[in-house]
Amino acid sequence: MDESPPPPPDDAPDTQTPPPPRTIHTGSPTDFLKGVVGKKVIVRLNSGVDYRGVLSCLDGYMNIALEQTEEHVEGNVTNRYGDAFIRGNNVLYISAAEEL
């Protein structure tokens, strides 16, 4: 076993293994959500009401926090909120309003 390389010291950075590729785009819902944070989005609820704003954060339940939120009902702005939290069970879709 003389040919086998010695194990790297514990405190040395691991130079053998490249970092996992972060740019691979599988198109899965999780990847979409990672890519859309900080972007302008349209969130439509099951009731048909739209909320347009900047997506500040969200979780696996599709609970959503929006900034600079505009509430749209049948195409008309009915309300504006600085911050808004939307409970995920009401969400029909989250659509990117700008290029990802």
**Distance of alpha carbon 40 from alpha carbon 52, whole angstroms:** 7
92 binds another protein (CB under 8 A): yes
Q: Which residues of 33-46 are buried (b: 16+ CB within 10 A; e: fewer)?
A: beebeeebbebbee
**Cα–Cα nearest to 73, from 42, 48, 92, 95:** 48
Which window, 10-18, 65-73, 79-87, 91-99, contacts another protein (CB under 8 A)?
91-99
78 binds another protein (CB under 8 A): no
Interface residue with another protein, options 52, 53, 62, 86 (CB under 8 A): 62
Q: How far is the CB of 92 from another protein (least distance, A)?
A: 6
65 binds another protein (CB under 8 A): no
